[in-house]
Homo-oligomer: A and B are copies of this chain.
Amino acid sequence: MRNLKVMMAFRGTNYHGYQKQENALTVQEVVESAVSKILNIPTRIYGCSRTDTGVHAEQFCFSFNTEREIPVKNFVRGINGYLPDDISVLSCEEVPPDFHARYSCRGKTYLYKIHSSESKNPFMTDLALHYRRELNIPLIQEASKHFIGTHDFASFCSNCSEKQSTIRTIYDITIEKNESFVLMLVKGDGFLYNMVRILVGTLLDVSEGRIDVSKLDDILKARDRKCAGRTAPAHGLYLHEVFYDELSKEM
């Protein structure tokens, strides 16, 4: 039995997120169907993460087991022939049997893309948040430092249950301005439901003067979603990078 690790990118606009569900089109359903066609046998794939409706991925990992001896290069070209234009397989490699796209994942970087301009960008409608006000980048940078480190992020989680751990580590947040685009990169060991979107929404509220930077530590301590800022829209969010131990690349 071979274990294959696949990287793909997808535009989330037309999907109800990655994870398969009844009565809604999902990325997993479309990709599983393409994998099953290529391998000529129904095949279950394991994704690195759930994603919300409309969220994109520049790098999303899934893994699956197969008895088939298809060469990885042929798999990439073959499956892309079965996938729609908004999903693209980037690479495929054979990995040790214990590799699992979700459980072996050591961390992720999310990217939030903002088009900061009076006029919208006709090429980015569903690919960035169009934001008309002036962004206070130095203030956003200062505010973002409060989230770096290991914290209880219960205030930054939608519908979190009391039973699950809401402690996560954010390794870094970087804010870059590139012409009219502002790119926020959030790197962490794992993320709660809607966590990045609430972090970004809170930073926007800080920029707009609706939340004071001095209140951010209290918001973390409150462990109450109502204390944090708004949830930024899904269409600006990208899963940007997923990290695994290097050893999983060796056999």
Contacts and interface: CB of A to CB of B under 8 A. Distances in A.
Interface of A: 9-11, 56, 76-77, 80, 85-91, 118-123, 125, 127
A177 to B, nearest CB: 18
A241 to B, nearest CB: 15
Contacts of A11: 122-123
How many identical subunits does the complex contain? 2
A120 B85 CA distance: 8
B10 A88 contact: no
B119 A90 contact: yes
A29 B91 CA distance: 44
13 contacts: A9-B119, A9-B122, A10-B122, A11-B123, A56-B123, A76-B118, A76-B119, A80-B120, A85-B125, A86-B122, A86-B125, A88-B120, A89-B119
Contacts of A121: 9, 88
A93 to B, nearest CB: 14
B76 A122 contact: no
Given A11-B123, A76-B119, A88-B121, 7 more contacts: A9-B119, A9-B122, A11-B122, A56-B123, A80-B120, A87-B122, A90-B119
A162 to B, nearest CB: 38
A207 B232 CA distance: 45
